[in-house]
């Protein structure tokens, strides 16, 4: 078994994906621990949930920095101080600078509520309903310099029903998100992910 990994989670809101990762760590399914949760919004619901679980929960407001990179530098400094191996974006509503991405190349994951490359950006679920697709889902991918673009680790599909609203589809997709994000983190922490260009290969145990 490889050395236990240190995970940092970045959030901006509710934090249900963060909780799914924390839960899987606590159940012993992941060879790692969430060592810090950072929110760019001090009032994020997820911060209180993380603190209630005994995780270190910090607010770093982007408003206190003159530009994106100085905010990113403050966040990266906190992650590096805690020797974080893997950064999980979980509803983190800020674009990362290329400096941040290259500081943690192939060590930043994101979850997106659609089957990328379809429906990147905000409101992936609403985009799917409006477009009339029959299948959507969720994607966990490594983060690169472009929005919702990096190498794909896991995707899972859900049916889009004729009577689906944005909310009903979001609810069904969220259940899938809570399955595949911890799965992807588990694979990373077991050193089972190999990235070659755009492709992520899952290696046997
Ligand atoms: C999720 O739908 C995720 O896919 C998207 O933002 C939402 C965050 O929800 N990136 P939560 O904060 O994890 O509950």
Report pLDDT for 113: 98
Is 148 near ligand 1, meaning CB less than 6 Å away? Answer: no
Name the H helices within the chain: 16-26, 45-52, 68-81, 98-103, 124-131, 166-189
For residue 92, what is the domain's CATH number?
3.40.50.170
- Ligand 1, residue 113: give the atom nearest the CA: 4
* Cα 152 to Cα 141: distance, rounded to the nearest angstrom: 4
The reply to whether 112 belongs to the active site is yes
Average pLDDT over all residues of the chain: 97
Please name which of 25, 11, 12, 14 lies closest in space to residue 190, comparing C-alpha atoms.
25
> Which of these, 196, 89, 199, lies nearest to 147 by C-alpha position?
89
* 38-96 residue pLDDT tens: 999 999 999 999 999 999 999 999 999 999 999 999 999 999 999 999 999 999 999 99
pLDDT in tens, 114-169: 999 999 999 999 999 999 999 999 999 999 999 999 999 999 999 999 999 999 99
Q: Are 10 and 90 in contact (CB under 8 A)?
A: yes
Domain, as residue range, for 63: 5-202
Domain count, the chain: 1
pLDDT tens digits for range 155-205:
999 999 999 999 999 999 999 999 999 999 999 999 999 999 999 999 998
pLDDT of residue 87: 99
Ligand 1 atom, smallest distance to 17 CA: 13
């Amino acid at each position: 078994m490889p050395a236990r990994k240190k995970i940092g989670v970045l959030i901006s809101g509710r934090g249900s994906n963060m909780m799914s990762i924390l839960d899987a760590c606590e159940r012993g399914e992941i060879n790692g621990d969430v060592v810090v949760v950072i929110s760019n919004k001090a009032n994020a619901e997820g911060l209180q949930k993380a603190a209630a679980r005994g995780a270190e929960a910090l607010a770093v407001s982007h408003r206190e920095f003159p530009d994106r990179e100085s905010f990113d530098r403050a966040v990266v400094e906190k992650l590096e101080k805690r020797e974080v191996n893997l950064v999980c974006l979980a509803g983190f509503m800020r674009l990362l600078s290329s400096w941040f991405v290259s500081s943690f190349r192939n060590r930043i994951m994101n979850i997106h509520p659609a089957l990328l490359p379809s429906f990147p950006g905000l409101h992936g679920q609403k985009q799917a309903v409006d477009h009339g697709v029959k299948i959507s889902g969720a994607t966990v991918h490594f983060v690169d310099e472009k929005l919702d673009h990096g190498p794909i680790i896991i995707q899972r599909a859900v049916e889009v029903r004729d009577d689906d609203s944005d909310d009903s589809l979001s609810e069904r997709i969220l259940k899938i998100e809570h399955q595949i994000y911890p799965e992807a983190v588990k694979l990373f922490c077991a050193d089972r992910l190999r990235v070659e260009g755009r492709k992520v290969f899952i290696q046997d145990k």
